[in-house]
Amino acid sequence: MSEIERIIKNIEAGKTTATLETESAILRAKADDSNAILEVIEERALERAAGIDKEIEQGIIRKLSGVPFVAKDNFLTLGSKTTAASKILENFKSPLQATAIERLEAEGAICIGKSNLDSFAHGGSTENSYFGVTLNAKDKARVAGGSSGGSAVAVAKGIVPFALGTDTGGSIRQPASFNGVVGFKPSYGLISRFGVIAMASSTDTVGPITTSVADAELLTEILAGQDKKDMNVMSDGFKPVESGKKYRVGIIKEYMADGVDKKVRDRVVELTEKLAEKGHKVIEISVPTAKYALPVYYTVVPAEISSNLARYDGVRYGLRAKDAKTIAEVYGRSRDEGFVDENKRRILIGAFVLSSGFYDAYYQKAQKVRTLLINDFNQAFNNVDFLIGPVAPTLAFKIGKNAHDPLQAYMEDILTVPPSLAGLPAISVPAKVAGDELPVGVQIIAPYVKDAELLNFARVAHGVEHE
């Protein structure tokens, strides 16, 4: 039985209440010593729980009645601040909520806190948070991954049964891999991003972090579908499928290169062997352009960041530099004080690749290669239903290892950014590891909008791995 199912069953049986579930999650969040939670939402959460308990007394039980969760602190929420783990938004209180939060609340879920992230979701270790690093759920000397590090740790440590994250280039999948939980990045445009602080609008996605694929399916069904406030969302929504179909699965050749830690590659091989035993056809397949995805990503994404973050200018939101004498000084000093180094690095790179003298050489070239990558994926999916490979080239690394080497930090994203650039759905499913080993996930990628098929297969893969 999945975590969410268990809570709902207990609510139905009168063994627990929304208030009890909320109170105990709040206690766990407060007791957490891994800096996963930036702010606990107490008052509003308990008020909502009381309201849901009234409904339950009247026999109304929704899909998530009384189920507590946390949201990455780049989702606008009522009852708390929304900081994006930055100084510039340190005291920012939103007057409205993200659509994702609204949809979960409409089904009775209760947001009990905001989780830590790399500032503005720029990073893959949660070390770029203005509020300090989140510690890995399994080994406190190691990173949680990121940028949704707080969300992954909160689920891995059982503080909440699920969390919301965002994934622009791996930020749900990679921390899920590093902490041994399920992280699902849906197709671009499946889930509304209204009320989520924008990073790179052409790859930003919202998705769930859970302990099981079944919970990810349930949450995706609730979260997906048209939103009047986000014209980018496709209308079809999401319906889980249940199929015993034998699939064709391609191990991505380029993902199994020597630069990828053998411990990570071995888990992929083991899982595919088990899938083959169950009758799925496993072949090796090449996605040649994947090797260019990292430079493409680190051209296109900073370009979009430099544009999206222009609104934090010391005038409209958050921090404003004191005693500035000119408007240029307000802009310059507010941004200098309010952003961490990684934010600034990306804004500068973005402005550079978009500047008139370099636009053709960098930004436009990157977009052309991006099209080649999309074509490559389409080609691969002519021969297989799903692609499979590692999530990241390493296991969770030691805190500080890449702190002074941005390029090394970017290399961690080499296997998660290709599907992001192509808008494809992808999931990290925890592999089976011995009790004393670090967790690691296996990444499964599906064609665009084949989210339901992907989750159906991921459920099978998770099952064979842990049976």
For residue 170, state whether it binds ligand GLN (rule: CB under 6 A): yes
Rounded Cα–Cα distance for residues 45 and 26 (Å):
9
Rounded Cα–Cα distance for residues 218 and 222 (Å):
7
Q: Judged by CB, which is closer to ligand GLN: 314, or 425?
A: 425
Among 150, 169, 350, 425, binds ligand GLN (CB under 6 A): 169
CA nearest neighbour of 208 among 386, 458, 460, 461: 458
Residue position matching structure tokens 């005291």: 91
Residues in the chain, total:
467
For residue 272, state whether it binds ligand GLN (rule: CB under 6 A): no
Rounded Cα–Cα distance for residues 99 and 79 (Å):
15
User: So which residues are the catalytic ones?
Assistant: 72, 147, 171
For residue 413, state whether it binds ligand GLN (rule: CB under 6 A): yes
Rounded Cα–Cα distance for residues 360 and 363 (Å):
6
For residue 151, state whether it binds ligand GLN (rule: CB under 6 A): no
Instruction: In angstroms, give the least distance from the CB of 348 to ligand GLN.
Output: 15
For residue 199, state whether it binds ligand GLN (rule: CB under 6 A): yes
For residue 186, state whether it binds ligand GLN (rule: CB under 6 A): no
Q: Judged by CB, which is closer to ligand GLN: 286, or 408?
A: 408
Please provide the DSSP assignment of 173-238 as one string. HHHHHHHT-EEEEPPTTSB--TTB--S-TTT-EEEEEESSHHHHHHHHHHHBS-BTTBTTS-SS--
* Sites for ligand GLN among residues 283-302 (CB under 6 A): 301
Residue position matching structure tokens 């691969």: 380
Among 21, 32, 167, 227, binds ligand GLN (CB under 6 A): 167
| 211-to-4, 214, 286, 351, 455 alpha-carbon distances in Å | 9, 9, 31, 40, 13
Instruction: In angstroms, give the least distance from the CB of 417 to ligand GLN.
Output: 7
For residue 147, state whether it binds ligand GLN (rule: CB under 6 A): yes
Taking CB atoms, the residue at the shortest distance from ligand GLN is 171
Q: Among 36-44, 118-126, 398-406, 450-458, which window interacts with ligand GLN (CB under 6 A)?
A: 118-126
Instruction: In angstroms, give the least distance from the CB of 403 to ligand GLN.
Output: 14
Among 72, 81, 103, 122, binds ligand GLN (CB under 6 A): 122
- Say how many Å lie between the first and final Cα of the chain, rounded: 14
Q: Which residues bind ligand GLN (CB under 6 A)?
A: 121-124, 147, 166-171, 199, 301, 413
